[in-house]
Copies of this chain bind each other. A is one copy, B any other.
């Protein structure tokens, strides 16, 4: 898919789990005031989906679009069920992958609750150096729940203290 194309739009049912072979995507929701809030980025080797919509067939509450020209491997619910039935190791892989995603999300909640904005940004660039290089700063601000101005101030403060 090409840059800026949608894989999923809010209100549609999410019919696939996408494995990113090449490229970069983001998953985000839009609040009452029209502001975008990024839940997740996905680069090569990562997985992206509106999991709740995929599992329940309820309308998606998130949008997913491409930040770069991307190649995806799409897994439908039917293919996933077939894989789970036929390849026990896929179930193990899937459980481990979900455990990893859950632990990363726990870490993110704890960093929001208990770390200063400076430390949160330093931890983000340490964990995800590739995202920092490939994603525009205003999207990283959105992911962190900051305005672009606040993030820019934090980055200046950090670079001055180096």
Residues on A lying within 8 angstroms of B by beta carbon are: 29, 31, 35, 37-39, 51-52, 55, 61, 84, 88, 91-92, 94-95, 98-99, 101-103, 105-110, 112-115, 145
Contact = CB atoms under 8 A, between A and B. Distances in A.
Q: Copy number in this complex?
A: 2
A98 B102 contact: yes
B114 A31 contact: yes
A39 B114 CA distance: 10
Given A91-B91, A105-B105, A115-B31, A110 B51 contact: no
27 contacts: A37-B114, A39-B106, A39-B110, A39-B113, A51-B99, A51-B102, A51-B106, A52-B107, A55-B99, A55-B103, A61-B110, A84-B92, A88-B91, A91-B91, A91-B95, A94-B95, A95-B98, A98-B98, A98-B99, A98-B102, A102-B102, A105-B105, A105-B106, A105-B109, A109-B109, A112-B112, A113-B145
